[in-house]
């Protein structure tokens, strides 16, 4: 990183990227333990998200979590081009994207990735994920009752056909690592058994009120890294994902009390807890004050062991992103997506 860029970061009140924690993947590559999410839901425009990406990189972020379905990669690509033109080297950045559900067919995977690379103005991705383990597609903005008439449950043989194409992306050098997202232990067991290129990560919902301890342990024990989305409880999630039973992490007394001790917003505590726990955290914000304070808070005083234990004790098993729109005709409810009884639902 150039001296001029270091000066720019310092002048902005930003954080030296070299001081940001990282996780080491099974390949030896290091992924920054905090990244900026880019799912703006229906509340923020693509231009706002792209501007946030540019601003976040300028204050020290080096990890950006994208997806084709978010509809903003062409704008983020221009933001990435601008920051790289200003002195940030491509190899200093970690860029993730995801294969959407309507591109699981063997003939669609590689072209989908190539289109993402074109939109992002990149020669390669550091990480490419299968966004959901189902080929079930839904139109943007639908409510929770919407169903794809062609939706199917998880069919392992079909998923592995998709995975073989993901492996080809690695072989061709278009992608450095591949991974899964929104998976369960029963599904991951089968993928790990049959994959030629091992998934490097599993991206999953993780926050203090939804800690997924069994899945988190399984991912770690099998040499993968857990990436946690919705780390502060997803206050910007779509309306279809909201139910009366949902809880609010940043209002939890334990989180609030720690935040008061540290002099930070409760959201910062959620991210600090996540990173100290050993996961990668990808909070989303378009507001400079928020993404900057989160990064500053991450590299400041850690939570104590007692505080870590206190947060571990407030798990409410409260899943916020339930995925109802991916259900198939004979599914009993959103729980079927998550194999709660340890067997893959049919």
Instruction: Note whether 12 and 59 are within 8 A (CB).
Output: yes
- With beta carbons less than 8 A apart as the criterion, state whether 152 and 328 touch: yes
What is the C-alpha separation between 176 and 6, in angstroms, rounded? 27
- Cβ atoms of 261 and 268 closer than 8 Å: no
User: Which one of the listed residues 70, 128, 154, 291 is annotated catalytic?
Assistant: 70
Tokens of 329: 């005709």
**b/e burial code for range 279-303 (CB count within 10 A of at least 16 → b):** bbbbbbbbebebbbbbbbbbbeeeb
70 among known catalytic residues? yes
Q: Is 65 helix (H, G, I), strand (E, B) or coil?
A: strand
234 — alpha (psi -120 to 50), left (phi > 0) or beta? left
- Residues 6 or more apart whose CB falls under 8 angstroms from that of 200 comprise 25, 26, 27, 127, 177, 178, 179, 224, 225
In whole angstroms, what is the distance from residue 326 CA to residue 266 CA?
32
Active site residues: 70
């Amino acid at each position: 990183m150039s001296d001029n860029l270091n000066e720019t970061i310092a002048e902005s009140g930003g954080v030296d990227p070299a001081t940001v924690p990282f996780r080491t993947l099974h390949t030896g590559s290091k992924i920054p333990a905090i990244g900026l999410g880019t799912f703006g839901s229906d509340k923020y425009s693509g231009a706002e998200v792209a501007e946030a990406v540019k601003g976040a990189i300028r204050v020290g972020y080096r990890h950006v979590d994208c997806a084709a379905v978010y509809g903003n990669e062409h704008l983020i690509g221009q933001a990435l081009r601008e920051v790289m033109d200003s002195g940030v080297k491509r190899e200093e950045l970690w860029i993730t994207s995801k294969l959407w559900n309507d591109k699981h067919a063997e003939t669609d995977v590689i072209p989908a990735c190539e289109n993402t690379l074109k939109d992002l103005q990149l020669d390669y991705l550091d990480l490419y994920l299968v966004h959901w383990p189902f080929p079930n597609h839904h139109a943007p903005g639908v409510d929770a009752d919407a169903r794809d008439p062609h939706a199917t449950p998880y069919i392992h043989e079909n998923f592995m056909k998709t995975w073989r194409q993901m492996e080809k992306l690695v072989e061709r050098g278009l992608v450095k690592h591949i991974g899964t997202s929104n998976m369960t232990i029963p599904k991951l067991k089968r993928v790990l058994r049959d994959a030629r290129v091992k998934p490097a990560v599993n991206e999953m919902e993780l926050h203090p009120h939804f800690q997924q301890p069994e899945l988190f342990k399984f991912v770690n024990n099998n040499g993968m890294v857990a990436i946690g989305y919705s780390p502060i409880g997803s206050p910007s999630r779509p309306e279809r994902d909201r139910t009366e039973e949902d809880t609010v992490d940043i209002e939890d007394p334990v989180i609030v009390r720690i935040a008061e001790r540290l002099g930070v917003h409760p959201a910062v505590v959620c991210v600090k807890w996540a990173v100290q726990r050993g996961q990668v955290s990808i909070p989303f914000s378009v507001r400079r004050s928020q993404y900057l304070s989160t990064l500053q808070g991450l590299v400041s005083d850690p939570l104590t062991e007692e505080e870590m234990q206190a947060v571990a004790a407030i798990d409410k098993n409260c899943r916020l992103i339930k995925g109802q729109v991916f259900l198939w005709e004979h599914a009993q409810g959103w729980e079927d997506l998550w194999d709660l009884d340890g067997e893959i639902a049919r």
